[in-house]
Structure 1
């Protein structure tokens, strides 16, 4: 099957999913993506294996993209975002030639803008796509409201490089000494809730008998907010290949975002057997965190609740924290690159009954 993936910025998780899809017998890939984001400066060599790769900067030039796709002749087009005019023009061009699928991690919030989107979707969205591939239940609600039937809504849009992070979980199980520290991974921007994070950590540090350090990995304009705070170690941006070993050096992920449609880092942490404390604005919490089972979900913007969760977790006996890590790993198995690839290949059957034959994956 010839599959074109029209994306925004590529990242480590998408690289893992695309590689697994490319390993399917008979699959040929074409990838379009924007250039590397300076706030998430992934090594471009990570994606060098992609032979058919069209990169754009600023905006999508459909006049350049369409001829490339005409030459490739995709049977399926998976498109990351309907907000790019060039991608919309491209999908209109391939009506009747390819199965067109939009992806979405936007949860249903019932805002006026979303209600407007529901109203115009029959004129704006349905003419250029046949199905939606969404992250989880919160996103399925939105797709359903926009008029897509259950058969045309696919789940499991995001998966981390599960094998890579799970190896940390199995390594962690062999260790006798646990890594007693908290971890934050993300861009240093306001929507990540950095003000709440700093406030909560300072509260935690004042109340804890033996406070754990907070290690922060990322890049962005708000880095000075983290500098000079006792106990906070600002480590800078971490390349995807180096991130698993950083997870080995911590015990619990903290993510106090004010807006986070999904947050792939939650899946990475659970696959690595870590506890997770996250705000209820983080979309992945609905699927990957259960209170007192593998972490805590706290109210968005509440430094008091976040500090309390940090205190509760760090005060648990080591044996209880070990069980929480095991529970996290079990939760992570809901999403894998293999499941992602198989879901993509199931789309023709779901849409028109055509089955992709012999979907085997190399290991």
Structure 2
């Protein structure tokens, strides 16, 4: 069985770990072969989040364009992808989503050549406004595939609404390198007290990690934190983005001295900053999954996650390892903050529960599910 995976960005460290584990599974089967095509090195919006760590990509890989994704055209991406399909001659191709014109052209090429197709589906029904003609187009495209690798249960539910059946859902999981993240975090915790003094942090801290852009809903996060300004709790903001100056001005104008801004970090340094916080918060208006929730849980942190994030439905157990909330409801978020402000003794048991839950969301598990999915599509649909 020859498996070809097409992915957009070589930078994606979490995929590097999953594909590395998939390669290990494939290597156990002498008649199987894996090739991963990384379309481009990175995208503009993530250009500041660390350079590519080539050492973690331990799988058979070809980079189509040594450039930013936005500097490539639809025709270039289509042409290069088809070139490698013709060269590698796969039995099954895993495509990155159903929204990118070049990959849709590749999908139809594969169907024309009798090659099985699995689509990686990261979207959920609530990601974007569901205009009827767009939904009809999605149904047409996804109906051409034989299976789906979904980013969690909400993504799988959306595939059902687009006409797919449970048998088509081959993976409903998403993972980061739990072990690596935890190791870096544990090493950083040793210096936690000293580093908190360096950053002039409060006794306890909520922490957000991500880009500072509108969809992340940081305006409401700041408004929800505002009533807690005089408490022992601070708010750490780790990241860069177009909203940064506006957010800093809001914090200054409202005398929110407990908010600390830290510039965006490479992925392998993020756990070091997580070690400064106590409770993780992801307030996004829209998030297909939110892998930083996995990272926080691997570090043993309680999590507060918007119910518009796909991970909220798979990773958060209410009042056990965290809470979910409506991202438009500032008061609800303040009330959730107060659950920890009033009972900081919750932090430790909630964190232990997070570590327990996240063990089921590992790269090894995702890789095995992917391999089993490839096998099912190639052999069960003949």
Shorter-chain TM band: 0.7 to 0.9
Q: Which residue of 2 aligns with 1:153?
A: 169
What per-residue deviation string (whole Å, max 9, x for no partner) do you get for residues 213-239 of structure 1?
A: 222111210011332522211111110
Q: Which residue of 2 aligns with 1:54?
A: 64
After alignment, is 188-197 or 138-147 more displaced? 138-147
Closer, same or farther: CA 176–123 of 1 in aligned 2, 3 Å = closer
Alignment partner of 1:287 is 2:314: yes
How far does residue 43 in structure 1 lie from its aligned partner after superposition?
A: 3.7
How far does residue 337 in structure 1 lie from its aligned partner after superposition?
A: 0.5
CA RMSD of aligned residues (A): 2.8
Q: Which residue of 1 aligns with 2:237?
A: 216
How far does residue 38 in structure 1 lie from its aligned partner after superposition?
A: 3.1
Answer whether contact 1:117 1:146 (CA < 8 A) is retained: no
Q: What's the secondary structure of 1:187's corresponding residue? A: coil
Closer, same or farther: CA 348–16 of 1 in aligned 2, 3 Å = closer
TM-score, normalized by length of structure 2? 0.82
Greater helix fraction, Structure 1 or Structure 2: 2
Pick the aligned partner of 2:141 from 119, 124, 136.
124
Q: What's the secondary structure of 2:93's corresponding residue? A: strand
Distance 1:329 1:138 in 2: 22
What per-residue deviation string (whole Å, max 9, x for no partner) do you get for residues 136-162 of structure 1?
A: 222222211222221111233421111
Unaligned runs of 5+ in 2: 197-202, 252-256
Pick the aligned partner of 2:39 from 29, 33, 43.
33
What per-residue deviation string (whole Å, max 9, x for no partner) do you get for residues 4-41 of structure 1?
A: 22223342211221222223315432223344233322
What per-residue deviation string (whole Å, max 9, x for no partner) do you get for residues 56-108 of structure 1?
A: 43433212321123112223321112222211112222224532111112222
Pick the aligned partner of 1:248 from 259, 266, 275.
275
Q: What's the secondary structure of 1:181's corresponding residue? A: strand
Distance 1:138 1:309 in 2: 23
Aligned length: 350
Q: What's the secondary structure of 1:52's corresponding residue? A: strand
How far does residue 326 in structure 1 lie from its aligned partner after superposition?
A: 0.3
Distance 1:317 1:243 in 2: 23
Alignment partner of 1:142 is 2:143: no
Distance 1:165 1:280 in 2: 25
Q: What's the secondary structure of 2:53's corresponding residue? A: helix
TM-score, normalized by length of structure 1? 0.86
Q: Which residue of 1 aligns with 2:125?
A: 108
Answer whether contact 2:175 2:363 (CA < 8 A) is retained: yes
What per-residue deviation string (whole Å, max 9, x for no partner) do you get for residues 282-314 of structure 1?
A: 221111112211111122122222222222213
After alignment, is 247-256 or 171-180 more displaced? 171-180
Answer whether contact 1:256 1:301 (CA < 8 A) is retained: no
